[in-house]
């Protein structure tokens, strides 16, 4: 995470929200032969205490999680390039504004009986965002199909020990300079959701 404390002043509740809203990230552990990573959807509990996810049974991380293992889950929120020309003041340098979160804790496999409930909670968390579309549920699956598909995956959870987030949005600049950059960032087209980054930069001016 960025070491400057000015970028790490958001509340725990807002840090939890960025993980829950994104719902996707990179799981990393130390394997026997080096780091192991996997990009996965995941569901963080409302209190930020438990991260639920599933892995393909053949994933090397799944084998490692037979025993409780230290793990890191990284979430990337919106980001955008910032040109020094956009500040309207001299002697600036290029940078990248972004929101990112890091969860550390102990991960392990769950009993197979918990898989169905985990999958239902995970899919429901995304399906409800698609309203008024009728939500998909596993009840729509033909008899036996869901059960066969579940044989190839395993349920997991990570008990959260620490949740940190960086909200790097030019808080180290004066309000007028930050606003000038935000107005250009919105239309830059460089990065993931530049408009969202611009809106967050402007919010810092209020």
Residue appearing with tokens 């408009």: 195
Number of domains in the chain: 1
179 located within any domain = no
* Predicted local confidence at residue 206, as pLDDT: 43
Residues 6+ apart with CB under 8 A from 15: 48, 101, 163, 164, 165
> Domain with 134 in it: what CATH number?
2.30.110.10
**Which pLDDT score, from 0 to 100, does residue 103 have?**
98
Domain range for 50 is: 5-81+94-171
Residue 186 lies in a domain: no
Instruction: With respect to residue 201, please indicate whether it lies within any of the assigned structural domains.
Output: no
Quick check: is 53 in a domain?
A: yes
33 pLDDT tier (thresholds 50, 70, 90): confident
Q: Is residue 20 part of a domain?
A: yes
Q: What is the pLDDT of residue 135?
A: 94
For the chain, the helix, strand and coil percentages under 3-state DSSP, each to the nearest 5: 35, 35, 30
Is residue 36, in this structure, part of any structural domain at all? yes
- CA distance linking residue 20 with residue 125, whole number of Å: 9
Tens digits of per-residue pLDDT, 175-184? 999 999 999 9
pLDDT tens sequence across 129-174: 999 999 999 999 998 999 999 999 999 999 999 999 999 999 999 9
In a domain, residue 118? The reply is yes
Q: What percent of the chain is predicted at pLDDT more than 70?
A: 99
């Amino acid at each position: 995470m960025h070491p400057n404390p000015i970028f790490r002043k958001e509340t725990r509740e807002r840090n939890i929200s960025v993980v829950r809203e994104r719902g996707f990230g990179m799981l990393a552990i130390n394997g026997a032969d080096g780091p192991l990573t996997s990009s996965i959807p995941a569901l963080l509990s409302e209190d930020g205490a438990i991260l639920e996810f599933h892995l393909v049974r053949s994933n090397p991380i799944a084998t490692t999680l037979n025993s409780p293992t230290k793990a890191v889950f990284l979430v990337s929120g919106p980001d955008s390039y910032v040109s020094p020309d956009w500040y309207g003041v001299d002697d600036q340098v290029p940078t990248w504004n972004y929101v990112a979160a890091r969860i550390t804790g102990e991960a392990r496999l769950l009993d197979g009986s918990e898989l169905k409930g985990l999958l239902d909670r995970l899919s429901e968390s995304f399906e409800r965002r698609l309203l008024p579309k009728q939500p998909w549920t596993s009840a729509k699956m033909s008899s036996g199909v869901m059960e066969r598909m579940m044989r190839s995956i395993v349920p997991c959870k990570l008990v959260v020990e620490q949740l940190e987030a960086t909200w790097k949005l030019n808080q180290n600049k004066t309000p007028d300079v930050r606003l000038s950059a935000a107005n250009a960032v919105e239309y830059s087209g460089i990065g993931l959701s530049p408009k969202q980054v611009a809106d967050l930069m402007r919010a810092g001016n209020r």
